[in-house]
A = this chain, B = another copy of it.
Amino acid sequence: MALESAFANFTRRDWEREDVDGTVRLAVIGVGGFARQRALPGIADGEYCETTVLVTGSPDRSRSVAEAFDIPHVIDYDAFLDGDHAGAYDAVYVATPNAFHGTYATAAADREKHVICEKPLDVSERVAREIVDACEDAGVTLMTAYRLQTEPSVRRTRELVRDGAIGDVVQIHGGFSNPLLENADPDTWRVDPDVAGGGALVDLGVYPLNTTRFVLDSEPVGVYATTHSSGPPFDGVDEHVAFQLEFPSGATASCTASFDAHANSQLQLIGTDGTISIASPFGGVVPHEMVVESGDMCMEYTGPPVDEVLEEFDYFGYCVLTGTDPEPDGVDGLADLRAIEAAYESAETGRQVELE
């Protein structure tokens, strides 16, 4: 691909290769802020999924949400596990606090429902592997909900890297900070280590981590990390994290994440022949801004926002309807969990931890 054509049809769905009929009927499990504000609208506005069941701890309080999105069934968690309305959905979107992903994803797989599960797959690699195994045994699709993998600027970046537009990637800088307490109470489950599985690294750092692995199409062989917390409510988890990944080529990724710094998100790749910078890659529905330097050439692109959550659910729906294996599958989710666990081990020991 010549650089001049890199930005042509910027928002194209390169993954959409055949016509499909119908939709995947979803049970959305867990109705928190992200589900209400991003997932349910994205599903409703997309082509290939529809929400038919809401699963929530407080069905009464979720009725208005169900009405707003025209969702016929609202049940609680126990009812879901008992199989209520199991005929009304083909797949589940697991958006509970992290520690409960395993319970609901595995229950869904056992009932031969496809699964799209929020990242991280669970709080431990062991339970995450049980999800992967359950989906494999049931022959259902498992996708880890990495919305960035359907985000156009990230996909265009991967294509440019693959086509050698910036030569060999040498160094990456990635960061994502999002002040948690501006949008959540201090008692949010995200600061409970048992329920969240970690802090800023698990919730935010996973974006530069997963996106780096995606655009390089390579697995890190080592990780070093430091974590820092200034006190309550972050005394149980990492409020801030800085980590450095090392890849087999010798490339490194210098990444940061924070629950308590000014909102910011960035990704920059520096290669032997050029650079790619994406402004605000991880931060939600914002205009696309991307700068590519390739040799003596520099091109800048600014385009309208694309709702990558809509893209993500349409990608999942497309994969289920066509029998396509999603790229962000269970193995992808497991790889991030391994890197996260290694990063926490590194932060404890002050040593680089090798990854297989």
Residues of A within 8 A of B (CB): 166-167, 170-171, 173, 175, 177, 222, 224, 226, 228, 230, 240, 242, 244, 246, 250, 252, 254-256, 258, 260-262, 264, 266, 268, 270-275, 293, 350-352
Contacts and interface: CB of A to CB of B under 8 A. Distances in A.
B244 A226 contact: yes
Contact of A244 (B175, B254, B268): B254
B242 A171 contact: yes
A210 to B, nearest CB: 18
Contacts of A224: 224, 226, 244, 352
B171 A256 contact: yes
Contacts of A250: 228, 230, 240
Contacts of A258: 170-171, 270
A70 B177 CA distance: 54
Number of copies: 2
16 contacts: A171-B240, A175-B270, A224-B224, A224-B244, A226-B244, A228-B250, A230-B250, A240-B250, A242-B244, A244-B254, A252-B256, A254-B256, A261-B271, A262-B272, A262-B274, A264-B275
B173 A240 contact: no
A266 to B, nearest CB: 7
Q: Which 4 A-B pairs have the closest CB atoms?
A: A228-B250, A254-B254, A242-B252, A350-B352
Contacts of A170: 177, 240, 258, 260-261
A183 B266 CA distance: 31
B166 A177 contact: no
B256 A264 contact: no
B275 A262 contact: yes
Contacts of A246: 226
A231 B342 CA distance: 30
Nearest to A347: B352
Contacts of A230: 250
A254 B266 CA distance: 13
Contacts of A272: 260-262
Given A224-B352, A226-B246, A262 B254 contact: no
Nearest to A350: B352
A311 B226 CA distance: 37
A54 B254 CA distance: 43
Contact of A256 (B173, B175, B266): B173
A348 to B, nearest CB: 11
A299 to B, nearest CB: 14
B254 A264 contact: no
A244 B243 CA distance: 8
A262 B350 contact: no
Contacts of A351: 350-352
